Chains A and B, each alone.
Chain A
């Protein structure tokens, strides 16, 4: 072998590498050389599993998806359900038939007219995958009365139908029928909606790019919550996928991103003192809870759950999670104070901080030192911190605790098996009406598996109530029963910390951040 041959071989290898380096990818932002006013750069916490909103409850899917897709009905700033793609909502006197004439002249991003067939296909698909959709809309008949009118008929009156259709997470968004038919059981191949922004590309592990939809036809009326006027004031939004929180903070400070989601609360002071950044604390956002395994193990016994509830000091948990009081609020409600459903019932059972009572209840329940297994993750800071405080609280009332820390997919997997855990921590986003609360209704079969026929009956009664006033009266009983049986213990409300560069105007918070009506100056 000669040195020349070696040189030829190595040169060839270098060329192969050079091709690898030069594999052409478009610039991550069209800002370069064009001025920054046309592009909004948002740092997200993670890549969504999919942007097909029918298929997942992942928050990050909603954060991108609702810029592309729209709902038949949606929420105004007071959490009332109002028309979105529907022109109006007509309810029959018996409360069983809902008619939705569609707004005229709406076109999908692919140029196709929105028709009732698209809405029917979308709602049927959403009902197939959404837990809430199945629970509320399962008995309904969804049909196209004519090209522009959709009719939903229920066997009984329901106050839960419209809130289910307007529920933002895993929302009943409208897509073209052809795309739904083509997808079958898979995710849709094309992300075609009617929203103010249309999908351009998803550069894996880099960004999701949406651009202004020139043919967008906004709903009438002023902007209110998720309803009313929506306008794309920037040409492009780049949703950068930035999992590292320190990078999101630094990127925001350096101007690499205009705004960022999921900022750690310990960066609040730093960002607040940065002259280029404006910060805000948004609420209502979510609440943190511990979930008992009520199917098997220690906490199948309601008395032991009550004992733990007696011991909980919500302030200490929320302080550990949020750091400063600006980011949390102690409140017992299963819905937020800002919502029309808010009731006081059960308040006395919240945040009892009574270890003596807890010990007494444990003794009565015959607790004998059996270990409590808490599964948690460091992937979500609040889950880990809550679990650490909870461990300490339980040990102080004489319980033996195993704190098991895994990555998030492992927690998701383990919590599906009732033999592997007693407690896990999670957060719950805002619900439109309280029967959507996953852990209350046994028919949702959600992890924790709380099952009480009395609770199910109350939830049905609430859903079938003829008006809000009567439904709220039933909800008072629901919340009382919840605090009596504590299948879940609510710790408190956690607010959302948001920060953006000062030249960003109009970004709105309602349930989460929206970037329509948002400009970069």
Chain B
């Protein structure tokens, strides 16, 4: 297994190389630079030119790339000119809220979606199936920021149950932490849950047509035992894939939701960095996201083996 994990981590290198080059080139080809944002709209051309020189922005792009790459290879993701701190510190400071939000959103999504998906599959073609799948379709179709804004209006402004925006770390107490995260997590979880519910239903329906299920039925096993003990586990690999993918996407920052709820996570870090052209932060955050994406997929592959003994990772 160690060999397998090592091999998979080695695959990360070409992925990161491509991501690094593409992301550097795109960011630097985008018009706008941090000097103009730093000095404000009343700055003169001469002031801008001076700051650009000071920040090294007037150097040829390949020289800037070389310098940045050299730093990355030495474990230095660069320096945020706006935050005045190492990019790695900035990412670390913003990772906590995103990880918390992601985990909570996924927990909510899984807790709701799997029972719904199973119930829909078990009652295929009935009104219950149609109702759940219509809800799932709505969940996929409605943007999470719209749900978020309505949650804010209802639960924060009208009812006053939750704070409208912001973030409190886990160190301020679990209840306080969750109070700030519950609305964004639910609004994100709805979309993820809808995807998982649909995948659960379709995957389970496929398994329910297998011969061994018919055998189990013939043996007189209870229907729910067949579903949960025999069918769901075999249907779980595609469900796990969806869970893994949604988790990986969320770790990269739920950009819009974090902005609407003013959560200082990776998504907000990236948005702010893009709006200010804080190049090193954008590059660092994208590299981090790519790494997380590959690693989460690795975890999912390992989970396949845990769920299905027939999967052999070493091959």
Chain A residues at the B interface, C-beta cutoff of 8 Å:
1-3, 5-7, 9-10, 13, 17, 20-25, 27-28, 32, 47, 49-50, 55-59, 61, 129, 131, 169-170, 185, 187, 203-206, 240-244, 246-247, 250-251, 253-256, 379, 406-414, 416, 426, 438, 444-447
- Which residues in B have their C-beta under 8 angstroms from that of A32? 172, 176
State the CA gap A170–B42 with chains docked (Å): 10
Contact of A204 among B83, B103, B176 (CB under 8 A): B83
State the CA gap A187–B302 with chains docked (Å): 48
- The answer on a CB contact under 8 Å between B38 and A49 is yes
Chain B 181-198 interface mask (CB, 8 Å, partner A; 1/0): 000000000000000000
State the CA gap A3–B277 with chains docked (Å): 46
- Residue from B34, B100, B152, B167 with most neighbouring chain A CB atoms (10 Å): B152
Within 8 A of A (CB), among B11-48: 30-34, 36-48
A-B contact pairs, 27 of them (CB 8 A): A1-B305, A6-B305, A6-B306, A10-B302, A10-B303, A27-B168, A27-B169, A28-B168, A50-B38, A57-B40, A57-B41, A58-B40, A131-B47, A204-B83, A242-B262, A244-B262, A247-B152, A247-B165, A247-B260, A250-B149, A250-B165, A251-B166, A251-B262, A254-B163, A254-B164, A409-B33, A416-B48
- The answer on a CB contact under 8 Å between A204 and B41 is no
- The answer on a CB contact under 8 Å between A254 and B157 is yes
Does B276 touch A at the CB level, under 8 Å?
yes
- The answer on a CB contact under 8 Å between B95 and A20 is yes
Chain B 46-88 interface mask (CB, 8 Å, partner A; 1/0): 1110000010000000000000000000000000001111000
Does B153 touch A at the CB level, under 8 Å?
yes
- The answer on a CB contact under 8 Å between A57 and B43 is yes
Contact of B95 among A23, A205, A414, A445 (CB under 8 A): A23
Q: 6 closest Cβ contacts across the A-B interface? A: A409-B32, A1-B1, A57-B40, A412-B36, A57-B42, A205-B264
- The answer on a CB contact under 8 Å between B41 and A412 is yes
- Which residues in B have their C-beta under 8 angstroms from that of A49? 37-40, 82, 276
- The answer on a CB contact under 8 Å between B264 and A206 is yes
Does B93 touch A at the CB level, under 8 Å?
yes
* Chain B at the A interface: SS class: helix
Closest B residue to A57 using CB positions: B40
State the CA gap A392–B181 with chains docked (Å): 45
State the CA gap A250–B158 with chains docked (Å): 10
- Which residues in A have their C-beta under 8 angstroms from that of B302? 6, 9-10
State the CA gap A187–B39 with chains docked (Å): 11
- The answer on a CB contact under 8 Å between A250 and B96 is no
- Which residues in A have their C-beta under 8 angstroms from that of B153? 250
- Which residues in A have their C-beta under 8 angstroms from that of B126? none
Closest A residue to B180 using CB positions: A28
The smallest beta-carbon distance between B155 and chain A, in angstroms, is 9
Does B272 touch A at the CB level, under 8 Å?
yes
- Which residues in A have their C-beta under 8 angstroms from that of B213? none
The smallest beta-carbon distance between B88 and chain A, in angstroms, is 13
State the CA gap A421–B277 with chains docked (Å): 21
- The answer on a CB contact under 8 Å between A9 and B43 is no
Interface size class of B (residues with CB under 8 A): 35 or more
- The answer on a CB contact under 8 Å between B1 and A13 is no
Does B4 touch A at the CB level, under 8 Å?
yes
Does B92 touch A at the CB level, under 8 Å?
yes
The smallest beta-carbon distance between A423 and chain B, in angstroms, is 15
- Residue from A21, A56, A187, A250 with most neighbouring chain B CB atoms (10 Å): A21
State the CA gap A406–B36 with chains docked (Å): 15
- Which residues in B have their C-beta under 8 angstroms from that of A56? 38-40, 43
- Which residues in B have their C-beta under 8 angstroms from that of A413? 31-33, 36
The smallest beta-carbon distance between A302 and chain B, in angstroms, is 22
State the CA gap A211–B94 with chains docked (Å): 24
The smallest beta-carbon distance between A407 and chain B, in angstroms, is 7
- Which residues in A have their C-beta under 8 angstroms from that of B259? 243-244, 247
The smallest beta-carbon distance between A20 and chain B, in angstroms, is 5
State the CA gap A58–B40 with chains docked (Å): 5
- The answer on a CB contact under 8 Å between B264 and A247 is no
The smallest beta-carbon distance between B228 and chain A, in angstroms, is 20
- Which residues in A have their C-beta under 8 angstroms from that of B39? 49, 55-57
State the CA gap A2–B4 with chains docked (Å): 12
- Which residues in A have their C-beta under 8 angstroms from that of B299? 10, 13
- Which residues in B have their C-beta under 8 angstroms from that of A131? 42-44, 47
State the CA gap A24–B152 with chains docked (Å): 26
Contact of B165 among A3, A20, A25, A256 (CB under 8 A): A256
Given contacts A50-B82, A254-B160, A413-B32, 7 further A-B contacts (CB under 8 A): A1-B314, A23-B93, A28-B167, A47-B272, A56-B40, A204-B83, A206-B167
The smallest beta-carbon distance between B219 and chain A, in angstroms, is 27
- Which residues in B have their C-beta under 8 angstroms from that of A129? 47
- The answer on a CB contact under 8 Å between B169 and A246 is no
- Which residues in A have their C-beta under 8 angstroms from that of B33? 409, 413
The smallest beta-carbon distance between A248 and chain B, in angstroms, is 9
Does B90 touch A at the CB level, under 8 Å?
yes
- Which residues in B have their C-beta under 8 angstroms from that of A205? 94, 264, 268-269, 272
Within 8 A of A (CB), among B274-315: 275-277, 299, 302-303, 305-306, 309, 313-314
State the CA gap A447–B84 with chains docked (Å): 29
Does B132 touch A at the CB level, under 8 Å?
no
- Which residues in B have their C-beta under 8 angstroms from that of A414? 31
Contact of B4 among A1, A246, A407, A444 (CB under 8 A): A1
- The answer on a CB contact under 8 Å between A240 and B276 is no
Does B225 touch A at the CB level, under 8 Å?
no
State the CA gap A23–B105 with chains docked (Å): 19
Contact of A250 among B42, B84, B99, B156 (CB under 8 A): B156
Closest A residue to B104 using CB positions: A21
- The answer on a CB contact under 8 Å between B305 and A247 is no
Closest B residue to A5 using CB positions: B1
